[in-house]
Amino acid sequence: MRFAYDTSYSDAQQLLRYRSQWICYGALAIALIVAPWLLPAYYVGELSYLFIVSIASLALMVLTGFTGQVSLGHAAFMAIGAYTHTLLLDQGIGFIPSILGAATLTGFVGFIIGLPAIRVSGLYLAMVTLAYAMLTEQIIGRWKDVTGGFTGIPVSPPSLFGYDLSSLKGFYFLCLVILVAVLLGLINLMRGRTGRAFIGVRDSEAAAATLGIWVGGYKVLAFVISAFVTGIAGALLAHHLQFLTPDGFSVMLSMELVLMVVIGGLGSLRGAIFGAILIGMLPTLISKIKPLLPTSISSQFGLETFVFGLILALFVMFEPNGLNGRWLKLKILFENFPLYRRNTFRRGKTYMHSERYR
Amino acid sequence: MRLKTAILAGALAGAMLTGLGGFARAAGVTDTEIVLGTHLDLSGPVAAAMPQLRNGMQMRFDEANEAGGINGRKVRLIVEDNGSQPQLAVRAVDKLIRSDGVFAIVNAFGSGTNAAVVKRAVDAGVVYFSPWAAAAVLQKISGRSPLLFTTTADYDTTAKAGLGWMIDENKAKKVGFIFQEGPLGELTKIGVVAALEARGMKLAAEASYKVGDIDFSSQVARMKAADVDVILAATLTRETVGVMSEVKKLGWDSVKVVTTIPGRTIVVAEIGKGAVESLYGIGTWYIWPPGSEPADVKVWQEKYRKLFKIEPDENAFLAYAYTDWFVKFGLQPAGRDLTADKVVKGLQESTYSGSPIFYGPKRFKNNHIDPETVQVSQVKNGVWMPVSGMIDPK
């Protein structure tokens, strides 16, 4: 067991407080930095993709996990980010202004979409965002002069300060740096005043309002922040795909993002990354284990869908807290071993539903 | 200090590994093996049609392997899932190129999916043969790469030729257009407009649908409101049946519905039953009425049934034919010293007449199939029967 013994205020503000955390995260950082040289090219590309979906998953976590607002429209935010970035690059604008411009525009659209969120919540909000996503897909498909229609447009390669970042390693580090920046930004945001307000709004709007939190304002702010970060992810995804078509940003992508957040564990940024890794890697994993299966099974069509569904069902049934919940339990088990109490995670008091005001 | 050494050692080991990896994957050709890849929709909306494609390809490669391989090398085909989603296709092709190190990608399925990946495949020096997709779009995206060979006839030229014949034959005054959003619809429209302009006509009505739609009442109602004589339907299988059922439901007998290459398949006649009776179709390959196939086709069908325990359709036969073309004129003449350049040269100079399914011998002109002969046929008593002669769109 470990007890916090702070000797100054700054102790409590450190992101990494213990030596064990420094060692673990340091090792992870070194592993990620040397990975492009150690891993085969294919996995480097896959990792870059995972970084991109992690950014999107983090963005949705802010909205769904922290503020309690469901969105089925995040594929549309990604699409707006991707197309805006591509079009700005074609105008000869540099990479950084272009990606920031794309994110800002996406954030602005998020503001507009966020406005109805003041009035509707839950299932109805999901419907509003879904409708918006479908609308966006249609607009992109029909606005041929700008977006190339359903035929699509090519994406120019990324370059920064004259360096071409389209190589495998260059793009890997580009995604990694942006992911780390987004993660640090969100961690600080979530433990600050804004993040606390988000959580307050999620847990009880009535209580939050009583404490002087501007509920409507924070709900819209969550949409704007989430859309801004998703726009960044969309811009990076454009470079990963190298060719944009509207059907790349269908409802399926929104669903996948929601799954990442739910499977990862609502209300935790670490969970968002866990979820992104699991859901993002599933298709690869399935295609990797396929050759090991007997031919009668591996040549079955629809195997992918089946395995996908099975894993999701098992998670929802046996670990509703998601991957992050499982991770915390394992960590505590190891920290306390052999003095682990079996009932550590049993809730002492269960609340009646009526005790909570929305 | 120790950390530094560890990092250095790690980096060194990594450099060696990647070096070795690069050497081992000399573009999918080893002493004993040629690795080829494809990506099909195994989990998406058209997954049901994919076994036929896979089987057709696999059958031709198995035959080559049983005959001792191609110049002493066995062919190994790796099938990946693209789920009809560009993202999945990108990852599938990344795996094929970077992890499996394939020599060529053959018979990959889907317009959107192929469009998303063709550039990265040809940039990596992989031969991209016979994608089942809108050819003109792919040729444009790839920058007219010599490594890309398209065998699907252009949707615009074939629609122009087929629709032109329909208008002249039926003395049609008004033409309506129902299309699937995406490359299929956009390209077909170019052909429709060209056919109409050549006759001083204008499109009377148009209506689109999205992939996955199952109700076509509003589209057909719009055609009815414009009172058109001919409807051109740029539709796939299920959607073609949907449009025809709607026309029949209205009791609208005077209108002639004609579907394009993707809709003119045996499957449509089979699943549509009475609803698709009298439907016209623009085709670029033979559909034989059951029982009246040429003898060699019957032998092939029998073999297919025995191998895969399912009834072959024309997609299986087409996949087999394209693969045959690739093996006979691409891989085999290149000899033991197999390179992409030799395969490209062999294919560019080839004239393929090895399959009875095509309307005559086929060549590659600017890496695209030529001539794109079309024939209009009609469903009569549940069977596609030819009604026009051979039309050369050029």
CATH code of the domain covering residue A265? 1.10.3470
* In-domain check, residue A349: no
Distance from CA of B133 to the nearest CA of A (A): 12
Cβ distance B43 to A149 less than 8 Å, yes or no, reads no
Contacts A39 to B, Cβ<8 Å: 14
Average per-residue pLDDT in chain B?
A: 85
Q: How many C-beta atoms surround the C-beta of residue B249 within 10 A?
A: 11
* In-domain check, residue A196: yes
- Minimum CA–CA partner of A281 in chain B: B91
* In-domain check, residue A22: no
The pLDDT value recorded for residue A348 is 58
Cβ distance A245 to B112 less than 8 Å, yes or no, reads yes
Which of B2, B16, B99 should one mutate to test binding to chain A, selecting the residue with the greatest count of A CBs within 10 A? B99
Q: For chain B, give the number of residues.
A: 394
Task: Report the DSSP beta bridge partners of residue B207.
Answer: B178
Q: Could you tell me the two tokens for A135?
A: 């609308």
Domain that holds residue A314: 49-339
Please give the DSSP secondary-structure letter assigned to residue B83: T
* In-domain check, residue A7: no
Distance from CA of A351 to the nearest CA of B (A): 43
Mean of pLDDT values over B96-117: 89
**Band of pLDDT at residue A77, cut at 50, 70 and 90:** very high
Is the model's pLDDT at A350 over the cut of 70? Answer: no
Number of domains in chain A: 1
The pLDDT value recorded for residue A300 is 64
**Band of pLDDT at residue B98, cut at 50, 70 and 90:** confident
**Band of pLDDT at residue A87, cut at 50, 70 and 90:** very high
Model confidence over A143-160: pLDDT tens digits? Answer: 878 887 777 888 888 888
* In-domain check, residue A11: no
Model confidence over B206-257: pLDDT tens digits? Answer: 998 887 788 899 999 999 999 999 999 999 888 899 999 999 988 888 899 9
Model confidence over A287-336: pLDDT tens digits? Answer: 777 777 776 666 666 666 677 778 778 887 888 788 888 888 888 888 77
Q: Could you tell me the two tokens for A250?
A: 């269908």
Average per-residue pLDDT in chain A?
A: 85
Measured in degrees and rounded to the nearest 5, phi and psi for residue B385 equal -120, 135
Q: How many C-beta atoms surround the C-beta of residue B353 within 10 A?
A: 12
Report helix, strand or coil for A122.
Answer: coil
Please give the DSSP secondary-structure letter assigned to residue B150: B
Which range is most confident: A33-42, A115-124, A331-340? A33-42
The pLDDT value recorded for residue A301 is 61
Is the model's pLDDT at B158 over the cut of 50? Answer: yes
The percent of residues in chain A predicted with pLDDT above 90, rounded, is 35
CB neighbour list of residue A124: distance below 8 Å, 6 or more residues apart: none
The pLDDT value recorded for residue B16 is 42
CB neighbour list of residue B106: distance below 8 Å, 6 or more residues apart: B36, B37, B38, B57, B129, B130, B322, B323, B326
**Band of pLDDT at residue B21, cut at 50, 70 and 90:** very low
Is the model's pLDDT at B1 over the cut of 50? Answer: no
Is the model's pLDDT at B51 over the cut of 50? Answer: yes
Contacts A149 to B, Cβ<8 Å: 186
Q: How many C-beta atoms surround the C-beta of residue A274 within 10 A?
A: 22
* In-domain check, residue A139: yes
Is the model's pLDDT at A352 over the cut of 60? Answer: no
Is the model's pLDDT at B2 over the cut of 60? Answer: no
Q: Say which residue the tokens 């080991």 belong to.
A: B13
Cβ distance B90 to A141 less than 8 Å, yes or no, reads no
Is the model's pLDDT at B122 over the cut of 50? Answer: yes
Give residue A182's region: left, alpha or beta (phi > 0; psi -120 to 50): alpha
* In-domain check, residue A9: no
Is the model's pLDDT at A171 over the cut of 50? Answer: yes
* In-domain check, residue A223: yes
Is the model's pLDDT at A351 over the cut of 70? Answer: no
Distance from CA of A305 to the nearest CA of B (A): 6
Contacts A41 to B, Cβ<8 Å: 18, 21, 98-99
Report helix, strand or coil for A186.
Answer: helix
Q: Could you tell me the two tokens for B310?
A: 């399912």
Q: Which domains does chain B have, with CATH numbers?
A: 26-153+288-358 (3.40.50.2300), 155-283+373-386 (3.40.50.2300)
Mean of pLDDT values over B62-80: 90
Contacts B21 to A, Cβ<8 Å: 40-41
The pLDDT value recorded for residue B294 is 85
Q: Which of residues 132-171 of A touch B (CB under 8 A)?
A: 141, 149-152, 154
